Structure 1
Amino acid sequence: MLKMVETLRKNQIAVQDVGDGRPVILLAGFGLDHTVWDAQVTMLSATHRTLCIDLRGTGQSDKPRLGYTLSELTADVVGVADALGLGSFDLVGWSFGGQVAFNLAARHPERVRRLVLVGSNGVRGCRSDEFPFGRRRDRLEPMLVRGETENRPASRRATIAAGFANEPNPAVLDYLTAVSLQMPSWSALACYTTMLDADLISEIPALTMPVRLIVGSEDPVHPVQGARWLAERLADGYVLEMPGCGHYPMFEAGAMLDHGLHQFLDGDPEVLVPQARGRSE
């Protein structure tokens, strides 16, 4: 069921709330919404209260002119959890949603039971001297801004297509582009800045909960090397690498993604996450 929840900051945030049991919150990637998790909700809601939140500026949530910092996006998610009476919960963040999830886990570790980062390193949207993985900001940002201002539909479609390891199914690409275009330019441009400005490396020690990183071996957006780098620095981090998969595992490797989520969220973290930190499955 899709419901609108008003946060303390007076934003209406859309939440798909399905199933019963221990709560798990899912956050989609840049510009996308709860519908991308359809198969995962079908699987998880058999045993979990499964909540998919449309981040501010996306899907059915409010799209204000301002308010897209990582802190504000995180506050929306916490506000939804508070409004729905959730204490602690499992948290899954994909791509840009992974940055929001990482920030929430660092700021509110008592709320996050287990954290899953899908197609995300969580800490940065581009490379730096300390984190030498992913794309260069000086090349990426002008391309994204130019595309958004000159030909938004074509740019969104091309950006999405470039994330797949292989040529995507045209129907899937049409669908993802249509969902993405619900995000207006003012929201997208602000979130590009937030994504590329983010540097949460100093927050790594705050994450003491079990963390699983589920990343495609061919992900061109957040390379698996960055996930391994993060896992080695986490207190309890583990990488599940999906062979031949790019940045869209729910469409490229759905069965493997579902298995990884189910195994981690429903299993014993002491068994699932070995002491050898940063190890890949």
Structure 2
Amino acid sequence: MVLVHGWGGSAASDWEDNGWRRSLSGQGHTVVAVDLPGHGSGPQPHDPGDYADLASEVLGRLPTDGVLDAVGFSLGAKVLLEIAARHPNRFHRLVLGGLGDNAFAPEPLGQDLADVLENGAHAEASTAVRELADYGVGNGNDPLALAACLRRAANPVLTPDRLAHVRCPVLLVVGENDPVAHPVHALAAALPDTQVRVLGGVAHLDLPGSIEFRRLALTFLDAGALTSMTR
């Protein structure tokens, strides 16, 4: 079972602190929680060129044997989709949180956010940018590494044609109060085998801590059968 966190988080903040490893291990899964480049306990380079292929970096840290299940949040979900598009037989099931039609677009606040991380908050910085900067640094990440990740050449670059190659069932979970991931219709339509759940009252950064998100993921991964599909 592979877990990949979102931008500004870490394996510890998204998965360990919110009980995911404990729950998955308790159901018999062997858990591998991966830190994205520039995040968590791994190397934190300051050169955007070191973030030129996030999917390859993550792929190199995955177990080499067998078909994997995986859960990703936000950027981590996007990276998992890129791996699944490149290697259609790599995953058995995917649970992707905090990702919708933004999978096909660059991070809208990326450059403003990178500027704040590099130089500190300024009068023109929006509340959303300030909150994201505080979130990333508050999780113990190096602000210059986070900025370099944001300034990378665009990747992953997903398209509906590429996602048509994803063979495994995918569960998309987004919060009702998540303007980042909404809408989700285009992403759901691009994936051959998709189920969608929208969680009431949940914001983007709150999703990893949602007990309902974890419950849905465990049900989907272990039973593989939620009652209905929504697109």
User: Could you state the TM-score of these two structures normalised by the residue count of structure 1?
Assistant: 0.69
Whether the aligned pair in 2 keeps the contact of 1:98 and 1:118 (CA below 8 Å) is yes
Task: Give the equivalent residue in structure 2 for 1:92.
Answer: 71
Give the alignment's Cα RMSD to 1 decimal: 3.0
1:103 Cα deviation after fit: 0.5
Q: What secondary structure is seen at the aligned counterpart in 2 of 1:243?
A: strand
What percent of counterpart residues are identical?
29
Aligned partners of 1:160 and 1:243: how far apart in 2? 25
1:43-100 CA-partner distances (Å, limit 9, x unpaired): 111121111111111111112334202x3x2222222224xx4321011111111111
Say yes or no: does 1:178 pair with 2:138: yes
Whether the aligned pair in 2 keeps the contact of 1:99 and 1:120 (CA below 8 Å) is yes
Whether the aligned pair in 1 keeps the contact of 2:116 and 2:130 (CA below 8 Å) is no
Task: Give the equivalent residue in structure 2 for 1:48.
Answer: 29
Q: Which of 100, 105, 113 is the matching residue for 1:144? A: 113
Larger RCO: 1 or 2 (CA < 8 Å, sep 6+): 2
Which amino acid is 1:30 matched to?
Answer: W
Aligned partners of 1:174 and 1:78: how far apart in 2? 29
1:221 Cα deviation after fit: 1.8
Aligned partners of 2:187 and 2:153: how far apart in 1? 17
Say yes or no: does 1:199 pair with 2:157: yes
1:266 Cα deviation after fit: 0.3
Task: Indicate how the Cα distance of structure 1 residues 148 and 59 shifts in structure 2: closer, same or farther if over 3 A, else same.
Answer: same
For these two proteins, the number of residue pairs brought into alignment is: 221
Whether the aligned pair in 1 keeps the contact of 2:94 and 2:171 (CA below 8 Å) is yes
Task: Give the equivalent residue in structure 1 for 2:181.
Answer: 222
Which amino acid is 1:215 matched to?
Answer: V
Whether the aligned pair in 1 keeps the contact of 2:88 and 2:168 (CA below 8 Å) is yes
Aligned partners of 2:58 and 2:192: how far apart in 1? 24
Gaps of 5+ in 1: 1-23, 127-134, 163-172
User: Could you state the TM-score of these two structures normalised by the residue count of structure 2?
Assistant: 0.82
Task: Indicate how the Cα distance of structure 1 residues 189 and 237 shifts in structure 2: closer, same or farther if over 3 A, else same.
Answer: same
Q: What secondary structure is seen at the aligned counterpart in 2 of 1:80?
A: coil
Whether the aligned pair in 2 keeps the contact of 1:160 and 1:177 (CA below 8 Å) is no
Task: Indicate how the Cα distance of structure 1 residues 63 and 264 shifts in structure 2: closer, same or farther if over 3 A, else same.
Answer: same
1:125 Cα deviation after fit: 4.1
1:108 Cα deviation after fit: 1.2
Aligned partners of 1:79 and 1:176: how far apart in 2? 24
Task: Give the equivalent residue in structure 2 for 1:212.
Answer: 171
Say yes or no: does 1:256 pair with 2:209: no
Aligned partners of 1:238 and 1:109: how far apart in 2? 18
Gaps of 5+ in 2: none
1:205 Cα deviation after fit: 0.7
